[in-house]
């Protein structure tokens, strides 16, 4: 479509006008069609758009949203990774496989893949959430990727969805199945063991809201050993634990 406004520009116009004709242009935008073509998806356009529609946009413009698709996609994703781990590590213990799966299927990892795929420019959020740049938040991007996988699974089946996600994983997180992949992910457990052995007490984390982010503080033996502002509590705790181990702050 020649000279078509960018999707983000149309969405901003839609916030101002509430014009149904603009809404039709948003949901029929060529950026969505190009995503379908590029990834060889056989998903009807309205169903693809639903996977990118946050509840805040749904409430404003009365479109189907992504929440149930997230639920489906999460299960599909768990099965994809579980079956791949089972294939790659037939002799590995269940506990290690479970940790390795969690290191792959976690908010930050999924958000990285979603960002690499260009999903932030396709996510539809409400006006207030747009101002806060919710479309860049890790939690929303992870949810959107799961919703997308759920919709692909519905229309093209498990094997296609599995193959497609493993291609994405290989391209954007090539070390996902590496032997040392757990080192960074399992930093909280490693720190906990080290602190418990030295001080006979666990490290603790406190969090204070800072707008749409959180200021996380790491306490070891009742002393502050790290502090920072992060998009989620989980991300902050993991990064502070990694930093404490790296710099030997115990």
Could you tell me the CATH number of the domain that includes residue 212? 3.30.160.20
Do residues 200 and 230 make contact, with C-beta atoms less than 8 angstroms apart?
A: no
Clarify whether residues 110 and 87 are in a common domain: yes
Clarify whether residues 156 and 76 are in a common domain: yes
Choice among 60, 146, 186, 237 that is catalytic: 146
Please state, in angstroms and as integers, the Cα–Cα distance from residue 187 to each residue in 30, 139, 193, following that order: 43, 20, 10
Clarify whether residues 197 and 100 are in a common domain: no
Q: Please give the pLDDT value at position 160.
A: 98
The percentage of the chain sitting over the pLDDT mark of 70, rounded to a whole number, equals 95
Choice among 70, 74, 84, 143 that is catalytic: 74
Mean pLDDT, rounded, for 37-44: 96
**Residues spanned by the domain of 220:** 186-246
Clarify whether residues 100 and 222 are in a common domain: no
Clarify whether residues 202 and 104 are in a common domain: no
The CATH number linked to 142 is 1.10.1520.10
Among candidate residues 123, 149, 179, the one where a domain is terminated: 179
For residue 47, indicate whether it is catalytic: no
Among candidate residues 133, 158, 179, the one where a domain is terminated: 179
Categorize the per-residue pLDDT at 98 as very low, low, confident or very high, splitting at 50, 70 and 90.
confident
Judge whether residue 119 has pLDDT over 90.
yes
How many structural domains comprise the chain? 2
Clarify whether residues 93 and 210 are in a common domain: no
Cα angle value 75/152/2 (rounded, 5°): 145
Judge whether residue 29 has pLDDT over 70.
yes
Clarify whether residues 50 and 65 are in a common domain: yes
Clarify whether residues 62 and 137 are in a common domain: yes
- The pTM for the full model equals 0.76
Q: Is 1 domain-assigned?
A: no
Q: Is 106 domain-assigned?
A: yes
Please state, in angstroms and as integers, the Cα–Cα distance from residue 107 to each residue in 13, 113, 198, following that order: 31, 10, 31
Among candidate residues 179, 199, 226, the one where a domain is terminated: 179
Give the residue with greater pLDDT, 117 vs 5: 117
Residues 134-166 have pLDDT tens digits of 888 988 999 999 999 999 999 999 999 999 999
For residue 74, indicate whether it is catalytic: yes
Report which secondary-structure segment, H or E, holds 194. Answer: helix 187-199
Among all chains, which residue has been given the structure tokens 């932030």? 120
**Cα–Cα distance between 144 and 53 in angstroms, integer?**
8
């Amino acid at each position: 479509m020649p000279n078509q406004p960018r999707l983000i520009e149309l969405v901003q116009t839609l916030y101002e006008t509430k014009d149904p004709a603009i809404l039709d242009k948003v949901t029929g935008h060529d950026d969505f069609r190009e995503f379908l073509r590029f990834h060889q998806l056989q998903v009807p356009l309205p169903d693809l758009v639903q996977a990118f529609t946050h509840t805040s946009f749904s409430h404003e413009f009365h479109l189907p949203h992504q929440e149930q698709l997230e639920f489906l996609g999460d299960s599909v994703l768990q099965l994809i990774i579980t079956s791949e781990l089972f294939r790659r590590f037939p002799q590995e213990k269940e506990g290690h496989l479970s940790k390795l799966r969690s290191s792959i299927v976690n908010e930050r990892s999924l958000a990285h893949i979603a960002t690499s795929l260009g999903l932030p420019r396709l996510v539809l959020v409400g006006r207030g959430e747009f101002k806060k740049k919710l479309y860049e938040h890790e939690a929303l991007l992870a949810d959107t990727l799961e919703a997308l996988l759920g919709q692909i699974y519905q229309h093209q089946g498990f094997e296609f969805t599995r193959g497609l996600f493993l291609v994405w994983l290989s391209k954007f997180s090539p070390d996902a199945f590496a032997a040392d992949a757990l080192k960074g992910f399992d930093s909280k457990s490693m720190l906990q063991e080290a602190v418990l052995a030295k001080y006979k007490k666990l490290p603790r984390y406190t969090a204070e809201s800072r707008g749409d982010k959180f200021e996380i503080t790491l306490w070891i033996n009742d002393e502050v050993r790290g502090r920072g502002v992060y998009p989620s509590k989980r991300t902050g705790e993991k990064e502070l634990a990694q930093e404490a181990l790296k710099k030997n702050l115990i």
